[in-house]
Structure 1
Amino acid sequence: MYYPKIIFAALAVTTAIAHPGPDHPVPHAEIQRRNELAKKCASQAANFNQRRISKRALQKRWEGSGRNVTYEITTGAPHYETIQNDTCVLSPEVTRGPYVWPRSQTLRQDMSEDQPGVPLWLDVGVLDMATCEPLPNVLLDFWHCNATGSYSSFTHLSPNIEFRELLAEKNLTDYAIGVTDLHTDDTTFLRGMWPTDENGVMEIKTIFPAVSQQIMGLEPYVFHTEIDRITNAQDAIYQNGTKGGFNPVVSIVPADGKDISKGMIGYITMGVDTAAIETFEYDH
């Protein structure tokens, strides 16, 4: 089987209200298959994370020594005191919408543009679950709402109205993600793509989306109060993603170790089953 040099993976950071349409539970056999993949690569994932943590620690020691030394780091390692052994096995079956708009995706390492909010550096490691080795040249695709719930390319759709109500207002009954054209403008904020390097890691800068109780107390997040929040316990998409003991959640820590308002680092290790590549096609 032929594999392209760049493998496309999607990491869509969305709010709980952005999950319209039918829920398709993951079959038990598929959950078991992913569980076996994750277990097989558990030790390699731990070693992978340890190398990244050590690299960051080495950089800090050199910076603290006051020496005029340059230490080249392709991407930063996470600020963690303990190794994260769990791996999120990429699940293309999870709902990808509704505010996906491929035309607005831009290749860049800083997708924050002029959006106000708490800085967030996403640190992503990717493992090939067939070999348990870091996977280079994986193009990761990110998109999420801003601090007040709006998505670029859809800024004229109110974030304070539930998505199904928006469809009803437009008399749309046959909505299909990536097919039905709902985009309202050409803005591109908080959308970006960046590949993993030769070590299977990448980092991209954005802002923290309006999905955390701690963050909601800060400006400008505090001004978005018009809509009820859905907890993870109520979110069917989140529940499907965590079945089988998987952890698809990005773990975050304050960038300076203390103050979340000064910025945070989000960390996740993703496993890609290169023996089960799927192709998604969009009309736009």
Structure 2
Amino acid sequence: MPAWNRRQFVQACLGAFAASQVSRVRALPDGRSACRLSAEQTEGPYYLDRALLRQDITEGKPGLPLSLQFEVLDVRTCRPLAGTTLEIWHCDAQGAYSGFSGMGGGMPPPPGPPPGGALHGPPPRGDHGPGGHPLMSHPTDQLTFLRGVQIADVRGRVAFRSIFPGYYAGRCNHIHLKLHVGGQAADGHYRGGHTVHTGQLFFSEADSLAAMALPAYQRHGLERMTLQQDNVYTTQHGDQSIATLLPPDGDAPRIARLTLAIDPTQQSREGS
């Protein structure tokens, strides 16, 4: 796989941000425009409040290099929303989440067929326990790969350097995200404030299949779940959260872009 450096990453980010913006905008009867509020999706069981304030979240993990680029808009005005903090986390090429390496959920399955036939794995974590809160897993380690936060600039833009996410039992390829407001950056972390949006980023089937053909993503004994088989995608408006994946440009990383339109005065249904 071609090497890519910080200069290439920055150039790719600037080039894509200079390109035409993809915003979910609709026209109002009087001719003005407004953004459509981005749909929320479940937080899932693998969230950890330990993400670092950083742009590069790879920590050496193998996989298809990916520049994740977000535009954050105020849904009330459709203008860029500076100062909001975007937090993301996702599994590695083999389906593992940092913080949960000592458990089975989200981890690569053991060799051989599971007892009783096909491997279906855990439910896709649209499930909830008593009181309507999402069921959570318990951390088993202090690892932090593929987790990070960034603060939106004056144009509401945020970028991360990562890899294309893998998959695991019960879920298609996806990236989790939260938007926070009112907190502060301190000691390399973002602390305080409250969550105004909880969601997930998805990819088209064609983009996911192309990435999963690469050696780092090869799996045995676990069939990949498609978008239309994924309960979170089909029941929580996942079609509104599919990233635009730009074609490769030489040795630069692939670029995945998504616009988020939020109301900074509101509280996420699954926020804290």
Which TM-score band applies after superposition, normalised by the shorter structure? 0.5 to 0.7
Q: How does 1:129-148 map to 2 (within 5 A)?
A: 129-148=75-94
Is 1:274 equivalent to 2:264 in the alignment?
yes
Q: How does 1:95-244 map to 2 (within 5 A)?
A: 95-103=42-50, 105-158=51-104, 159-161=107-109, 162-163=121-122, 180=136, 182-210=138-166, 211=173, 212-222=208-218, 224-242=219-237
Q: Which has the higher strand share?
A: 2
Q: Summarize the Cα distance change of 1:107–1:157 in structure 2 as closer, same or farther, 3 Å threshold.
A: same
Is 1:248 equivalent to 2:194 in the alignment?
no
Which amino acid in 2 is paired with 1:274? P
Q: CA RMSD in A?
A: 3.3
Match of 1:90 in 2: 38
* C-alpha contact 2:69 2:255 (8 A) present in aligned 1: yes
Superposed displacement of residue 176, structure 1: 8.6
Deviates most, 80-89 or 123-132: 80-89
Aligned equivalents of 1:175, 1:130: Cα separation in 2: 31
Which amino acid in 2 is paired with 1:219? P
* C-alpha contact 1:75 1:202 (8 A) present in aligned 2: no
Q: Summarize the Cα distance change of 1:198–1:83 in structure 2 as closer, same or farther, 3 Å threshold.
A: closer
* C-alpha contact 1:125 1:201 (8 A) present in aligned 2: yes
Superposed CA deviations along residues 200-240 of structure 1, whole A, max 9, x for unmatched, are 11111101112311111112112x23212211112221123
Q: Summarize the Cα distance change of 1:214–1:175 in structure 2 as closer, same or farther, 3 Å threshold.
A: farther
Which amino acid in 1 is paired with 2:44? G
Give the share of equivalent positions with the same residue, in percent. Answer: 30
Q: Summarize the Cα distance change of 1:208–1:182 in structure 2 as closer, same or farther, 3 Å threshold.
A: same
Match of 1:43 in 2: none
Aligned equivalents of 1:228, 1:175: Cα separation in 2: 33
Which amino acid in 2 is paired with 1:110? D
Superposed displacement of residue 91, structure 1: 3.4
Unaligned stretches of 5+ residues in structure 1: 1-71, 166-172
Superposed displacement of residue 102, structure 1: 1.2
Superposed displacement of residue 181, structure 1: 5.2
Q: Which has the larger radius of gyration?
A: 1
3-state SS of paired residue (1:192): strand
Equivalent residues, number: 196
What is the TM-score normalised by the length of structure 2?
0.62
Which amino acid in 1 is paired with 2:22? Q
Is 1:263 equivalent to 2:201 in the alignment?
no
